Amino acid sequence: MKRAAGFGVLLVLGILTAYVIGFQRNFGEELPYDNEFSGLKDRIVIKFSHVVAENSPKGLAAAHFAQRVKEKSNDRIEIQVFPNGMRYSETTEVAALQRGEIQMIAPSFSNLNAIDPAWLVMDLPFAFENQAQVDQALNGQLGKRLSQTLEPYGMKGVAFWSNGFRQITNNAHSIRRPTDFTGLKFRIQPSKVLERQFEALGASTISTPFNEIYHNLETGTADGQENTISNILTKRFYQVQRYMTISNHSYLGYAVVFNKSYWDSLPSDAKLVLQEALEETTRWNKRETDENANRLNQLRQAGDITITRLSEDERMLWRKRLRVLYQEFTPVIGSDLMNMIQGP
């Protein structure tokens, strides 16, 4: 019994001695740095929701942006992209951003006029003749003024992405002159300017979410719609439309927007990475938008839609008919902003 008790005491003493020796050896030493653990701890995940197809200019830009951020941050910042309205539609994404459920969206200009009517200026017909004029306006005072309208609503505008000019499609007949619109119904984005545009042309309108357009056209809820060449191709509207007019009558672009509180909370080095990646992606997006000529050829090869292009005389008839919108919306938009665009 005594021998067992003595053995137990020796065992306890041995354990205590080993603990003390080990403690002294490691006391004051730094533990090895666990890079993997630090990466998980400091990792930044940004949820980016948008409503168009992955192979559209905006969808491709979102993927390009995510990849550049991943590379520039050494995988510290992850942009999780949710395309095709899989998380939120254009009617719900702004509220979701404001609530902080997502951190980043890229709504079309038309979907921001509910925030501030200043955005209606971008929907006016024939406000810009080409992409160079659009870029000059958005890189100047007009772009600055539009971005400022978002901040009181908890949003931070960080870039403008392009998709090109809108074209007209329909199922009734080829459209060349303003009188060809009479009696037709067109799906539009939620914009008073777009609504009045079609009214001035003798047509009626229906406003529905982007991802419902195909169904609207297939079921005859709408006779036609207006959209960019890339959207007509990637969403396959040409399968449910018989005629397309290359009119370039108005512009469709996107504001890249963060939740402002979230943006302000980011470390300065993370903001720098995001800003650099945004600048690179914006330049890349412009080149991608230039591919619309190739997409038009793809539409021609599909053989399912008859494509016509307005002559200069026909475009002038559209301009004259739609000039009234500038008089109507100057009090709403403001004469200072109206002076920043080209006009009809």
Q: How do the domains of the chain map onto residue ranges?
A: 42-339
Closest CA to 194 of 166, 169, 161, 236: 166
Place of tokens 């009234």: 324
Q: Let me know: does 80 contact 48? Beta carbons within 8 Å.
A: yes
Per-residue pLDDT at 79: 98
Which among 78, 97, 121 is positioned nearest to 259, based on CA atoms?
97
DSSP alpha helix (H) spans, the chain: 2-26, 35-42, 57-72, 93-99, 131-138, 141-148, 192-200, 213-219, 229-234, 260-265, 268-289, 292-302, 312-322, 324-333, 335-338
> DSSP state, 168?
E
Would you state the pLDDT for residue 53?
A: 87
150 C-beta neighbours (distance < 10 Å), count: 20
- Tally the C-alpha atoms within 13 A of residue 245's C-alpha that lie toward its C-beta: 25
- Which of 183, 275, 184 is closest to 222 using CA atoms? 184
Q: What's the pLDDT score for residue 21?
A: 43
Asked if 178 and 310 touch (Cβ cutoff 8 Å), the reply is no
Q: Which two tokens stand for residue 15?
A: 């354990």
What lies within 8 Å, CB to CB, of 216 at 6+ separation is 187, 206, 208, 222, 225
Q: Which residue has the tokens 């996107």?
A: 254
Q: Residue 9's pLDDT is what?
A: 44
* CA 182 – CA 88 distance, rounded (Å): 35
| Mean pLDDT in consecutive groups of 10 residues from the start of the chain, 344 residues | 47 46 41 38 90 90 97 97 92 95 97 96 96 95 97 97 96 97 97 98 96 96 97 94 97 97 97 97 88 84 90 97 97 95 80
CA distance 202 to 195: 11
Q: What distances in angstroms separate CA 288 from CA 82, 128, 261, 283, 308, one per listed residue?
A: 20, 19, 31, 9, 23
- The Cα–Cα gap between 164 and 139 comes to 16
* Per-residue confidence (pLDDT) for residue 291, from 0 to 100: 73
> Residue 305: its pLDDT value, please?
93
CB 50 within 8 A of CB 41: no
Dihedral angle at the C-alpha atoms of 272, 277, 282, 283, nearest 10 degrees? 110
Phi/psi for 259 (5° steps) reads: -65, 125
Residue 318 identity: W
Residue 41's pLDDT is 54
Q: Please determine, looking at this structure, whether the domain spanning 42-339 carries the CATH number 3.30.360.10.
A: no
| Cα 58–Cα 128–Cα 196 angle in degrees, nearest 5 | 90
